Structure 1
Amino acid sequence: RLQDARVPPPLPDAPEVRSDLLDYAVEIDWFNKQLGRMIEMLERSGELDNTFIAVTGDNGLPFPRCKANLYEWGTHVPLAIRWGKLKGGRTVEDFVSLADLAPTFMEATGLKPAAGMTGRSLMNVLQSGKSGWVDPQRQSVLVGRERHTPAQPDSPAGYPTRAIRTRDFLFVRNFKPERFPAGNDPVYRDIDNGPTKTFMLEHRNDERVANLFELGFGKRPAEELYDLKKDPGELHNLANDPAYAEMRKKLSSELDRQLKTWQDPRALGKGDEFDTYEYYGKK
């Protein structure tokens, strides 16, 4: 039912949007049923407890200001893990990057993480048997985007951006704020087509949609800062607010430090070569 849909803050609350979200929920429900069938097959074969199962997603909701963006509804994806050697029925709140999965799989099989891996194994968290925030060293997570689709006008360039997320704040650095994060008007190719995108395009000048449209489709400043306790929807950028100057400086420095440790070209003043790489099947 439309009234059952939970509309994320970056999207307008309208019947068209609610219906779109429910359609998406149906797809997730279908996936869950197929997953259940696979687990039942493992159980019948006697291999369930001997199988390490990890279920996650590659991006957030396929909606404006969600997928292909570094905000909550673009980077926060589900992660469910089952293994016969682990205590189940727990919810863990630690920050996890998908880059952590490879070293986790390796440690689970008795191997050491390969040299050059930036992810950290989750085995200490999984084997702890604890719920909530388990590993005090997992204070934050870094996320980033380089290119998603060829959406810039007359250019194969992407929209390079990096962010650091803590429990209370999200700090985003947009390396090319002069570009279009969602692609250029009127196509906005970097946003998945669908009823919600169509509704926002058709009602972009409506009072209830205009601000959300600008946040999801418009250009963005070089830096963004959000207070997640006061603004969980990440709608009010505080990067230029004097009251948050120290926090902006702290998170900016930590983001820089980590990116340089990983030798991220963008953090080293380089990275334009990324914009020249060919897309598969395109010149």
Structure 2
Amino acid sequence: MPRLLLSLLLLVACSTSSFAAEKPNFLWIMSEDNSSHFLKWFDPTGASTPNIEALAKEGLTYDNAFSNAPVCSVARTTLITSCYSPRIGTFHHRKSFIVPMPEGLKMFPAYLREAGYYTTNNSKEDYNAQKSKDVWDESSRKASWRNRQPGQPFFHVQTYTTTHESSLHFPAADIDNKPTENDAEAVFVAPYHPQSKEFKYTYARYHDRIQQMDQQVGKLVDQLREDGLLDSTFVFYFADHGGVLPRSKGYAYDTGLHVPLVIRVPEKFREQLPQTTGSRIEPFVSFVDFGPTVLNLAGAKVPDQIDGHAFLGLGEQQLVESDESFGYADRFDEKYDMVRTLRKGKYRYIRNYQPFNFDGMMNNYRYKMVAYQNWKEWFDAQKLDGPQSQFFQARPAEMLFDVSEDPYEINDLAGDPMHQEVLEELRGRLDEIVVGMPDLGFYPESYLAENAAANPVAFGQQHKADIAALQQIANLQLGSFADAQSDIAKALASSDPWQRYWGVIACSGHGAEALPLKGTLVKLAESDPENLVRVRAIEYLALYAGQDPAEAMGKALENAKTATEANLILNSVVLLRDGSPGYSFSIRRQQVEHLKQNRGELERRLEYLDPK
């Protein structure tokens, strides 16, 4: 036998032998846009999912699994990077600019490839960070583990769109003409939703979709079984975030963040796990933890630069357990907000940094859903009260919920004297997280695009003290205005435009109580050198001093330097037009025709404000 051929055969034999060293395979099955509330395995009001339940009975059920973000691109970027998006600059959906991965860090499947794994994705990516060529062997609608070398271990991701939000973009006529398999009169409707026929039908139709997705899960698992791979493959089933009925996807409540997670443990590795097959796991896990968990199970090195930690491992490893999960919600398509949340034990603390941006502000894609339209119509007709109307009203700067007693988060305990100790503990812990990262959300997106896009992590570290100062100013919304007034006045007089910016937002957080600073705010609205500071001051004066903002907002829009800046200005326009007291604006496309690039989200706002 020729020596070259013999060498090649030995190489293949050695390679196959190393593959056969019983490294586990991994299959991630992701459904889109559904919280744990929609599966009966996790919530008695959910739909029956026998195939997912079968996986759970041969594995582990995680009762406290959370996406770190309630929307696709941010959640999926968190998954693939194992990093908190506000730290690495990937926290807006959809991205107006793409950023590099943190220096020295790769998306985690690249480390699996280095360890000999065949990595495939079918097929949604939706990343806000730059993907290198070493992440996937194949990422397409044809990607499959079946194309790997014989004996090669694999990591495969399969996304099913069956439950995606778009599945509920049906015409209103369907309600009377297309019956659902689940009984619309018997289905559970969350207490913050109108008990209307539109909502009942939408819930029932979504339960139908959940069950269709469950059938897809079963068929994919059958493929593994047919290939003789089920006994060597960890099968993860989870959703990419919560959703998708109104007030879930895009919102940092439990319904937007709490996801179902089941991990079927292959027979070949069950004896190596300390957990008992079929058990339910109480400690918290988050999307930042999924990547390091797979790397740990695969025996690959977990990089130091990530934010997550492994929650599952073979042998007698001492793994960190947690009772908390950090979450974030910022720009969602064209709609701006800045919300940070901490779920710790049975409590969820929510920090609304811009509380005047009410949840129900127009978002074009959301309002394609009949249920969204119905909810707004009922609110406008004054048919709603209590928790059903809050979606369209300003929120408190901070909220606290006991999710064990109040799973739909309608009873805010932040003002309850009996819960002040818990409130202060969770507030302090959240402050510690956002300052420690540090959180880039304290800068407007347009400023980050111009100054931080090349290396957001380095920018954050260079400005860590500045961000801490902005966070302290933002927290002047909390407590009494009398106690905060002098510090807010200092912020408004700062030479740093973003301290002035957050000083104005702190005024808006206090509402009419901040009117003693009206004179300063008028000056900022008229002559501040930073356009966005002027916008925030105009916004305050419109909300609480009765000053018509139309002309001043129009000028600010014409002065915008980028489409991203213009979109933030139009967010204030929509707030002031659609919310209370409701001002009239005449927004024209000609006002922003000088802005040529990254106009996607700006066009969504113009579609609403100045339809062609």
Whole-Å separation in 1 of the counterparts to 2:347 and 2:601:
39
- Secondary structure of 2:224's counterpart equals helix
Q: Tell me the secondary structure at the aligned position of residue 91 of structure 1.
A: strand
Question: What's the CA shift for 1:29?
Answer: 1.2
Displacement of 1:9 after TM fit?
Answer: 2.6
Pairing partner for 1:160 from 330, 333, 338: 338
Residue 234 of structure 1: which of 398, 409, 426 is its match? 409
TM superposition shift of 1:254: 0.9
Higher-Rg structure is: 2
Describe the superposition over 1:86-144 as per-residue Cα deviations: whole angstroms up to 9, x where unpaired. 453222222111111110111111012212211121215x879xxxxxx8842211111
What residue in structure 2 maps to residue 142 of structure 1? 326
Mapped pair 1:37 → 2:215: no
Write the letter of the residue equivalent to 1:110.
G
After TM superposition, the score normalised by the length of structure 1 is 0.82
Cα drift, residue 215 of structure 1 = 2.2
Compute the displacement of 1:79 (Å): 0.9
- Kindly state the Cα deviation for residue 149 of structure 1 after the two structures are TM-superposed: 1.3
Matched, 1:54 2:236: yes
From 203, 228, 242, the equivalent of 2:378 is 203
Note if contact 2:358-2:391 (Cα within 8 Å) is conserved in structure 1. no
Asked if the contact 1:164–1:171 (Cα under 8 Å) also holds between the matched residues in 2, the reply is yes
Partner AA of 2:236 in structure 1: A
Q: What is the rounded CA distance, in whole Å, between the counterparts of 1:115 and 1:247 in structure 2? A: 32
Deviation at 1:50, TM superposition (A): 1.9
The structure where helix makes up a greater share of residues is 2
Tell me which of 178, 201, 213 is aligned to 2:356. Answer: 178
SS in 1 for 2:280: coil
- Return the alpha-carbon distance in structure 1 between the equivalents of residues 306 and 599 of structure 2: 26
Q: CA offset at residue 258 of structure 1?
A: 2.2
2:196 to 9, 14, 17: 14
List alignment gaps of at least 5 residues for structure 1.
129-134, 152-157
* Change in CA separation of 1:21 and 1:211 when aligned onto 2, cut-off 3 Å: same
CA pair 77-274 structure 1, distance change in 2 beyond 3 A: farther
Match of 1:76 in 2: 258
The one-letter amino acid of 2:334's match is P
Shift of 1:200: 1.1
Structure 1 equivalent of residue 418 of structure 2? 243
SS in 1 for 2:281: coil
Task: Measure the CA separation in 1 of the matches of 2:410 and 2:202.
Answer: 22
Q: 2:293 aligns with which of 104, 107, 120?
A: 104
Q: 2:209 matched to which residue of 1? A: 27
8 Å contact from structure 2 (residues 249, 256) kept in 1: yes
Tell me, in whole angstroms, the C-alpha distance in 1 between the residues paired with 2:426 and 2:355.
Answer: 19
Cα displacement string for residues 208-227 of structure 1 (whole angstroms, at most 9, x for unaligned residues): 63334432233212111113
Does residue 271 in structure 1 map to residue 443 in structure 2? yes
When the two chains are superposed, the root-mean-square deviation of aligned CA atoms in Å is 2.6
8 A Cα contact 1:100 1:120, kept in partner: yes
Would the alpha carbon gap of residues 44 and 163 (structure 1) be closer, same or farther in structure 2, given more than 3 Å must change? same
Amino acid at match of 1:105: V
Could you tell me which amino acid in structure 1 is paired with residue 427 of structure 2? S
Cα distance in 2 for partners of 1:27, 1:162 equals: 30
Deviation at 1:229, TM superposition (A): 4.2
| Maintained 8 Å contact 1:170/1:228 | yes
Residues 208/179 of structure 1: CA separation in 2 closer, same or farther (3 Å cut): closer
Once residues 211 and 191 of structure 1 are traced to their aligned partners in structure 2, the CA distance between those partners, rounded to angstroms, is: 23
Residues 38 and 230 of structure 1: CA distance in aligned 2, closer, same or farther (over 3 Å): closer
- Conserved 8 A contact 2:334-2:363: no
Among candidates 250, 275, 278, match of residue 89 of structure 1: 278
Structure 1 residues 274 and 261: alpha-carbon distance in aligned structure 2, compared to 1, 3 A threshold: farther
Matches within 5 A, 1:186-225: 187-189=362-364, 191=366, 193-204=368-379, 209-225=384-400
Seen in structure 2, the aligned counterparts of structure 1 residues 190 and 127 have a Cα distance that, compared at 3 Å, is: farther
Aligned-pair CA distance for 1:241: 2.9
> 1:276, 1:258 → 2: CA distance?
20
- Mapped partners of 2:338, 2:315: distance in 1: 36
Q: SS of the counterpart of 2:406?
A: coil
Question: Quick one: distance in 1 between partners of 2:315 and 2:187?
Answer: 36
- 1:275 is displaced (CA, Å) by 7.2
> Equivalents in 1 of 2:291, 2:241: separation in Å?
18
SS of residue matched to 2:350: strand
Secondary structure class of the residue paired with 1:144: strand
